[in-house]
Structure 1
Amino acid sequence: MEKYQKVYRSDYEQWYRDNRNYREKVKNAPGRLKYHLMPETGWLNDPNGLCQKDGTYHIYYQYTPFEPTGEIKLWGHYATKDFIHYEDRGPFLFPDHDYDAHGVYSGSAFVENGTIHYFYTGNIKLFDRDDYDYITAGRGSNTLHFTSRDGDAAGAKELIFTNRDYPQDVSCHVRDPKVFKRNGAYYMVLGARDRESRGLVLLYRSDDLKNWKYYSRITTKEPFGYMWECPDLFELDGQLCMLSCPQGVGPQGIDYRNVHQCTVMPLSCDFERNSCEIEEEKIRMVDRGFDFYAPQTFCDEKGRRILIGWMGIPDAEYGNPTVEDGWQHALTLPRELHMKDGRLIQTPIEELNMLRSEGYSYESKEELNEAGEEQLVFEAEICFHSSNDNSCDDTVIELRKGTELIYSRRDGLLTLSLKEGGYGRTERSVKVEALRNLRIYSDTTSLEIFVNDGEEVFTTRVYGKRGGFRIDGGCSAKVRIYRMNSFIIDREPGRPEAEKQKGLCAIGEALIDFIPERKGQRLKDVTAFKRAAGGAPANVAGAVSRLGLPARLLTKTGNDAFGDYLIECFTAAGIDTSFIKRDSIKETPLAFVSLAEDGNRDFQFYRKNSADLFYSPEEVTSEVLDGCGILHFGSVDLVESPMKEAHRKLIRMAADKEILISFDPNLRLSLWKDDVKLKETVLEFMPQADIVKISEEELEFITGKTEIKEALPELLQGKTRCVLYTRGRDGAAAYTEQWSVSRPGLRVEARDTTGAGDSFTGAFLSRLLSYGITDITEISIGQMEDFLDFANAYAARTTMAEGGLTAMASKQAFEEWMRRK
């Protein structure tokens, strides 16, 4: 690909196939953010086309996957239902037309009557003369429109405006259309620069979203910058206001210190009389940090006005070292907007609370400082207080080594100071009457700081690598700190089909484990329990998903509160729950667990009317194995029931598709009325699996042998080519017809062994999926040693927390834990 040449989807797909090493390099770069959206590779800037349709949020963005400086402009696409789990759906819009051949620039989306209408700027740069200034001549700024029903399949591009359709006194710089509806009519704002280098916004009107006429312009009485980019006009809490990014506004004291600005402008408009004036004395900066630009807002299906901005800025004098790793920039966290007393209030959306992991409270700054917090990735809530005025005196808050927030009560200034890792970023300040509270989101290489309930915000990139969080000075403060989990991003939807990562399909029981608050009690003596989502197949799917690979679960729950809880937990763990059925008559199964002091447990099941047993073969549809490389099941749901027949059908489908099949007997004798029938069932299904995982306790019951080597002839039957033999904390072994491998376990202090075997199985299967192994006999001895070590370690890590699925570590947390071992 070359700048100023058309780029087609086929060009991108060929590039994608040829650049796997580049993607791996960026994926493993140390500065990658944990809970912010970034480009998989290359460059990201303006958010575009933000909208929600049918429960799915669509986040498009200016994108260059090919390199990190933004030479070629596409639109990338993330989709989410909860702002925690995302699908990277890849490039959405390409510069493949005569009207946009030199870049699909920024634009917006408008949803109506089941259709998403997109409006964007197509850039054309002319080279037929050498005297173009590309301001008043030499540039084509085309406004285009297309539609989509689902946010993925784009319709034909339609030209709305060329330069000839803009007022004669306007330069070639017209871009970034945004549409809103008022009193039955549609209005479009376009950022513009006139021929006298004065910034303004053009306003167009339409009755049908297709035929547009010039209506008016919006600007200040006195010039305020030479170009207004990314205009966004909307009503917020009864106030009509406009966000825009004026370029060319010089510093005014502590205000407008960045090379380009982002402002909110209250408006007084009468659209019927074509009158719209800016309340100029109320123009304010949207963000006080170094890295905030081109925000876009939308109204979601809950009625919230949500803003997402570009965590970057064009033409800045400071830089980003991530360029050396092949990527640059990110999007801000989503923020809910309100207008209060004439001020724009920004608060992080409530969904972000789901990212919180461990939380720690400190009743004073002394207690905080003594704790020695050294994390880089966290959320912190600070409430300042005193006996007089609910504020504080001069205070220094160290966010990480070399990065400080400094409050001067005498001057009323709050200053963000970067003395380390700023790469040219130094200080930015804001005037505050008092410092009441702060909400701080610290990611690996970014900060978003919300001041006084969101009255002011600082957004910046920062590259200091030394953690250190403390508060000094004349203040009293209570602090709550949360460790933060990462976004869960599925990059499969956007990959060319041949490149897609295969995942796991698990079928079987899903239930709730009720775990005692105290260990060492008999079940009848337990007075308090904590609930945890469980079920062996669900746990295996959860381990695979938590380790960053696709996983889905086939089961049925009751249409009850317990079923709701399971669905929420599975979704939060990243499991695909779209094939889970609900039953209004049958019930969600429960298990009550008693824990010994060493973490071992005993079960009491409540599943006489269990919904999972009624998952029928008819509900196993043809697409359930799409994108799957492994099918996993156990024996709990193989009692005589519709679910047993569903297993048979699914196993036949997997065999026909040459998908690896994994079986864990996971014996629960109390669930079977007849031990002989259980053994017969296990021996029937076991030979249908490529991989069989069996524990020390299960070996004698199934084979009648106490030594694994003596039992192997009975285990390596039918399709079975590999037997995994687990011995708890003593490790695990693998046996094939050709060789055997044994690896020791990882010794830890176990709190709860619930789900340990499932996490071992899930971790092992995740390695098969990661390496793309489709034939179990192709695994080398060295690979098997690595796979067993990985699975042993992951199982050990799981036993260190309570619960099964909830105890399983994310890929990030597990890797960090292993580095410390």
Structure 2
Amino acid sequence: MNHELLTIGRISVDIYPNDIGVDLEDVQSFGKYLGGSPSNVAVAAARHGRRTGVITRTGDDAFGTYLHRELRKFGVDDSFVTPVKEWPTAVTFCAIKPATDEFPLYFYGRFPTAPDLQIHAEELDLDAIRNARIFWSTVTGLCQEPSREAHLAAHEARDRDQLKIGQFTVLDLDYRPMFWASETEAREQVARILPHVTVAIGNDKECAVAVGAGTPDEQADRLLAAGVEIAVVKLGAEGVMAKTRTERVVSAPVPVETVNGLGAGDSFGGAFCHGLLSGWPLAQVLDFANAAGAIVASRLSCADAMPTPEEVTSLLAERGRLVSEFAGAGTSPEAVSEGAAS
């Protein structure tokens, strides 16, 4: 398959409560879902009609079988998902307490390692990675060997002049402190990858770990100085900002009633990739991604909750923010590429 988006990294079974607003110890029943940020991003982009795949590993167990089945159900290529006999498939529990804006995560089967951290560089299909229109990875994949060197090898395989051929390499600055010895270690590993990255996406804390504390503009400028072409800084209640060497755009938040804040960032990521591939102006890419993230925040699950393009454009229309580019008027990937590279 010629992938429009190929992701690498974490996959898990998400066990989410059916009882909303109570602590985990008081939950009576749960639902089971595909999870893991890079896997969710692949699902999100597939919902927008994109050809996607994920490079990851599961346990050689029933939960691994379930994750293969779910990926195929969502139209995500699972041919690069392989089993690890030594470690069980990771499972993630959460409590959902929207009234307090708390969605704590509890990771099981990730310590001392997890199957998706057992990706080996020598087993990568570098041609598939090289040819993907967008290659997506996360900082979490850098936290441990052999995944760390596999991620570096994958990034090094990408063309350094990507934008001229309509390609993007995205680093999700997704920083989870429980997977790292220190922020210093994480910053050192991010510094190894950034020269190979054309797009970096993160919130204030994640950007601070990557390039140091500062204002959103200062953090974006540091990412650009490190070689990134598009720096995306999430501003929380103020929306999201994207900056290139010639452009700065801000997308205001799309208000919804939050049910589960988990997964909104993955929906944002998949929709952001869809916008890049569609060749939309950066401002419209951000608006579309913002709305896609808001929709998932208003739903219970993550992968199962990823919206269709029609659902995203409908929400934007309701908010008076729908523009022609969302209806398919974007020209080519070079429309964004040239603006970022100039």
Distance 1:590 1:502 in 2: 28
State the match for 1:644 in structure 2. 148
Amino acid at match of 2:80: F
State the match for 2:272 in structure 1. 764
Distance 2:195 2:129 in 1: 21
SS at match of 1:549: coil
SS at match of 1:716: helix
Unaligned runs of 5+ in 2: 320-342
Whether the 8 Å CA contact 2:156–2:196 is kept in 1: the answer is: no
**Counterpart check, 1:516 vs 2:17:** yes
Q: Which deviates more from structure 2 when the two are superposed, residues 732-741 or residues 623-632?
A: 623-632
Counterparts of 1:714-793 in structure 2, within 5 Å, are: 714-771=222-279, 783-793=281-291
**Counterpart check, 1:617 vs 2:121:** yes
Q: Aligned to 1:682, which of 181, 187, 190? A: 190
SS at match of 1:569: helix
Q: Report the Cα offset of residue 768 of structure 1.
A: 1.1
Whether the 8 Å CA contact 2:200–2:230 is kept in 1: the answer is: yes
Q: Report the Cα offset of residue 732 of structure 1.
A: 1.0
SS at match of 1:601: coil
State the match for 1:555 in structure 2. 56
Q: How many residues align?
A: 312
SS at match of 2:202: strand
Higher strand proportion: 1
SS at match of 2:208: helix
Distance 2:208 2:40 in 1: 25
**Counterpart check, 1:795 vs 2:290:** no
Distance 1:550 1:729 in 2: 32
Amino acid at match of 1:594: A
**Counterpart check, 1:590 vs 2:88:** no
Distance 1:656 1:714 in 2: 19
Higher helix proportion: 2
**CA pair 517-552 structure 1, distance change in 2 beyond 3 A:** same
State the match for 1:16 in structure 2. none
Using CA pairs under 8 Å that are at least 6 residues apart, name the structure with larger relative contact order, 1 or 2. Answer: 2
State the Cα deviation string for residues 536-574 of structure 1 (Å, max 9, x = none): 111111111110011110001111111111111111111
Q: Report the Cα offset of residue 631 of structure 1.
A: 0.5
Q: Aligned to 2:103, which of 590, 593, 601? A: 601
Q: Report the Cα offset of residue 683 of structure 1.
A: 2.9
**CA pair 657-687 structure 1, distance change in 2 beyond 3 A:** closer
Q: Identity, % of aligned pairs?
A: 28
Q: Report the Cα offset of residue 769 of structure 1.
A: 1.2
Distance 1:511 1:504 in 2: 20
Amino acid at match of 2:282: M
Whether the 8 Å CA contact 2:126–2:154 is kept in 1: the answer is: no
Whether the 8 Å CA contact 1:579–1:624 is kept in 2: the answer is: no
Amino acid at match of 2:132: C
**CA pair 803-650 structure 1, distance change in 2 beyond 3 A:** same
Distance 1:719 1:818 in 2: 33
Distance 1:601 1:798 in 2: 14
**CA pair 602-686 structure 1, distance change in 2 beyond 3 A:** farther
Q: Aligned to 1:631, which of 135, 138, 149? A: 135
Distance 1:819 1:644 in 2: 42
Normalising by structure 1, report the TM-score.
Answer: 0.36
Q: Report the Cα offset of residue 684 of structure 1.
A: 2.7
State the match for 1:59 in structure 2. none
**CA pair 615-702 structure 1, distance change in 2 beyond 3 A:** closer
SS at match of 2:53: strand
Q: Report the Cα offset of residue 739 of structure 1.
A: 2.4
Q: Report the Cα offset of residue 706 of structure 1.
A: 3.6
Higher-Rg structure is 1
State the Cα deviation string for residues 447-498 of structure 1 (Å, max 9, x = none): xxxxxxxxxxxxxxxxxxxxxxxxxxxxxxxxxxxxxxxxxxxxxx8xxxxx
**CA pair 739-706 structure 1, distance change in 2 beyond 3 A:** same
Distance 1:617 1:679 in 2: 21
**CA pair 697-519 structure 1, distance change in 2 beyond 3 A:** farther
State the Cα deviation string for residues 137-178 of structure 1 (Å, max 9, x = none): xxxxxxxxxxxxxxxxxxxxxxxxxxxxxxxxxxxxxxxxxx
Normalising by structure 2, report the TM-score.
Answer: 0.84
Whether the 8 Å CA contact 2:3–2:53 is kept in 1: the answer is: no
